[in-house]
Structure 1
């Protein structure tokens, strides 16, 4: 799956109603279909944000992709700079598809590391690169 760019929203009262805000509506957590994909990059705010009110701290948008069968995910713990996400996705996916290979879940953390390093080399603030995290099963 390619990057999913949108706005993410955590519903603390009913986590299954957490969703991505899309052009034509919403994509709710409970409707994400099962998959056997290797990797997803969630280029949206708050896609792996936990909260003390959530009974299960992994019950967030990124966690749902993992539960649906994705082997790895990159998401954000809070709001991010919209200009940074395309750069992180481009660098990350370039690493995952390097030399014509198929992306593997085991390469996701390294891909994110390359992307974050590029962000830090461009002298962005700490707050711009720190929200991105990698999860893997």
Structure 2
């Protein structure tokens, strides 16, 4: 059973998830879930990127895109909210970049996440947001992430597996 009705979801998997295809999704859709690899560039933060099929989507490109529909992005990728140990208050990362580009709310990770945790966290987040057929709101995403992290804690997973998930924005 799907949490979100199939009529409301467009999925790009494997070879479909090219840089150009993902850019089109970012421009067209208000809610985006990216399950891929992320890489933080501490020297040139705008070169931080998502690894997609056949290439990378750099933060610099995202910041220049027309994202008029942007509401919420779930970055189920490593290092999407990682800061810089030297410049803690001055770091710029993918999650913050998506907020700067126009998304109102984002979920990202401070460091590498356990591959088993991403799907569980996403399931709990979306189950809460789309419960009882309601229209999901970006303003409810922080609460949804809190419920997911609480579930990881209840399952007694080590703290380094639930701490990486953070919420940014409204």
TM over 0.5: yes
SS at match of 2:36: strand
Could you give the per-residue CA deviations for residues 76-99 of structure 1, whole angstroms, max 9, x where no partner exists?
Answer: 001110110011011101111112
Runs of 4+ that moved beyond 4 A = none
Root mean square deviation of aligned Cα: 1.6
In the alignment, what sits opposite 2:158? 125
* Greater C-alpha radius of gyration: 2
Could you give the per-residue CA deviations for residues 106-131 of structure 1, whole angstroms, max 9, x where no partner exists?
Answer: 10110001111111122211111011
User: How far did residue 34 of structure 1 move?
Assistant: 3.4
In the alignment, what sits opposite 2:142? 109
Structure 1 residue runs of 5 or longer lacking an equivalent are: none
In the alignment, what sits opposite 2:33? 3
* 1:55–1:108 CA distance, 2 compared to 1 (3 A): closer
For 2:55, which of 25, 49, 54 is the aligned residue? 25
Instruction: Return the alpha-carbon distance in structure 2 between the equivalents of residues 107 and 77 of structure 1.
Output: 21
| Larger helix share, 1 or 2 | 2
User: How far did residue 18 of structure 1 move?
Assistant: 0.6
Instruction: Return the alpha-carbon distance in structure 2 between the equivalents of residues 63 and 34 of structure 1.
Output: 17
Could you give the per-residue CA deviations for residues 18-61 of structure 1, whole angstroms, max 9, x where no partner exists?
Answer: 1011222111101112323221110011101110247832x210
In the alignment, what sits opposite 2:66? 34
In the alignment, what sits opposite 2:97? 64
Instruction: Return the alpha-carbon distance in structure 2 between the equivalents of residues 53 and 19 of structure 1.
Output: 19
User: How far did residue 64 of structure 1 move?
Assistant: 1.0
User: Do the aligned partners of 1:105 and 1:136 also contact (CA within 8 Å) in 2?
Assistant: no
In the alignment, what sits opposite 1:13? 43
Structure 2 residue runs of 5 or longer lacking an equivalent are: 1-30
Instruction: Return the alpha-carbon distance in structure 2 between the equivalents of residues 17 and 54 of structure 1.
Output: 18
Q: Does 1:43 align with 2:76?
A: yes
| Larger strand share, 1 or 2 | 1
